[in-house]
Amino acid sequence: MQYVSLDMSSLVALKIFAALSVLAVAVLGGIIPMLAARRQSSRRFFSLGNALAGGIFLGVGFTHLLPEAEEMLAGFTDYPLGPLLAAGGIAILLWIDRVYFESLGPKANGESGERRQPVYPVVMLAALSVHSVITGIALGLEPEIAASVLVMTGILLHKGSAAFALMVSAHTSGMNQYQLRLVLAIFVSMTPLGIAFGASVSSLMNGESAELAEGVFNALAAGTFIYVAVMDVIDSEMSRIDDRMARFVSSALAGTNDVAMPVQDSDRLLKFLLVLIGLGSMAVLGIWV
């Protein structure tokens, strides 16, 4: 009886340590872009960081979320439901970002004519937050110390890079300091909340319905990660100079002047390598996590 009590107290202590560690790693990963934003020479940092973030988003979508969704949904149907739902996630975000808001015309930008902030940082925050809660609950539910250490390690390996990528994308989209702090605060709190919830109400997350819901969410989230990586982040950082010139002229004619005068991109190869590094790092993590 004493051994059981000791094991239980050790497990609780481990989960408290995990929650604090995840919180610290996420804050560290997210605060780096916020500190860099204060420097006058931060434009190049965010351009290169955005390319790295695009690779991370691709890796998370293709090597983590989509395979996890396929594994969870395989017990319910032989149909490749995971890839279909991922494609549905891409279609949903495409409609929101490029059809719905664009169809609003000038109304979408407000009376002042300011450029509308892209919707994808909010979508990414929602997707990452829900996934963080789910992984936190998984750790909170884990009854074994050894398995809890494994899950905690996986979460720690992902959390810092995800926070960095999210905050770089949020800053690049034009969010102000208050919005950036709010985004970071919401994101870093999700996994600890999930751990606390899972540890306290373990009986609520058992059963096939929970696995089905998580599989569906992971597949939809995979599509949104892939969309943001390809259609927004990588497209923006690797765009042709003619396309950037067209956006600059359009901005000048509209009177917003929110697009910098395009110059020859000397970092194109470096950005490509950073995309590969982001993608590769997530692929390597997939070996253990």
- Least Cα distance to 286 among 145, 121, 161, 122 occurs for 161
**Residue 58 to residues 9, 31, 262, Cα–Cα distance (Å):** 39, 22, 26
Burial class (CB in 10 A: 0-12, 13-18, 19+), 260: exposed
- What pLDDT shows up at residue 87? 94
Find which of 11-15, 140-144, 253-257 is predicted with most confidence, using mean pLDDT: 11-15
Average pLDDT for 208-236: 81
Average pLDDT for 102-111: 53
Task: Say how far apart CA 180 and CA 46 lie, in whole Å.
Answer: 14
Residue 179 in this model has a pLDDT that exceeds 50: yes
- What pLDDT shows up at residue 253? 59
Task: Say how far apart CA 147 and CA 230 lie, in whole Å.
Answer: 35
Residue predicted with more confidence, 249 or 18: 18
In the chain, the number of structural domains is: 1
Which distant-in-sequence residues (6+ apart) come within 8 Å of 200 by Cβ?
140
Q: pLDDT tens-digit profile of 82-99?
A: 999 999 988 988 887 778
Task: Say how far apart CA 274 and CA 269 lie, in whole Å.
Answer: 9
Structural domain including 148 reads 2-288
Q: How confident is the model at residue 1 (pLDDT cuts 50, 70, 90)?
A: very low
CB 173 within 8 A of CB 118: yes
Residue 285 in this model has a pLDDT that exceeds 60: yes
Full-prediction pTM beyond 0.75? Answer: no
Residue 212 in this model has a pLDDT that exceeds 70: yes
Mean pLDDT, the chain, as a whole number?
77
Residue predicted with more confidence, 112 or 242: 242
Residue predicted with more confidence, 59 or 110: 59
Which distant-in-sequence residues (6+ apart) come within 8 Å of 226 by Cβ?
57, 58, 61, 62, 86, 89, 90
Specify the DSSP element, H or E, that contains 231. Answer: none
Burial class (CB in 10 A: 0-12, 13-18, 19+), 124: buried
- Strands of 63-182 (E only): list them: none
Average pLDDT for 15-24: 86
- What pLDDT shows up at residue 2? 43
Tell me the two tokens of residue 72: 């969870």
Residue 281 in this model has a pLDDT that exceeds 80: yes
Residue predicted with more confidence, 169 or 273: 273
Residue 288 in this model has a pLDDT that exceeds 80: no
DSSP-derived letter for residue 119 is S
Tell me the two tokens of residue 21: 């560690």
Task: Say how far apart CA 131 and CA 95 lie, in whole Å.
Answer: 23
Residue predicted with more confidence, 16 or 263: 16
CB 224 within 8 A of CB 89: yes
- What pLDDT shows up at residue 133? 79
Residue 110 in this model has a pLDDT that exceeds 50: no
Lowest mean pLDDT among 15-19, 67-71, 219-223, 231-235: 231-235
Task: Say how far apart CA 168 and CA 37 lie, in whole Å.
Answer: 9
Task: Say how far apart CA 86 and CA 193 lie, in whole Å.
Answer: 27
CB 45 within 8 A of CB 32: no
Lowest mean pLDDT among 36-50, 108-122, 220-234: 108-122
- What pLDDT shows up at residue 251? 56
CB 8 within 8 A of CB 142: no
Find which of 62-76, 111-125, 156-170 is predicted with most confidence, using mean pLDDT: 62-76
- Least Cα distance to 229 among 102, 90, 44 occurs for 90
- What pLDDT shows up at residue 68? 85
**Residue 153 to residues 41, 116, 183, 241, Cα–Cα distance (Å):** 35, 39, 24, 42
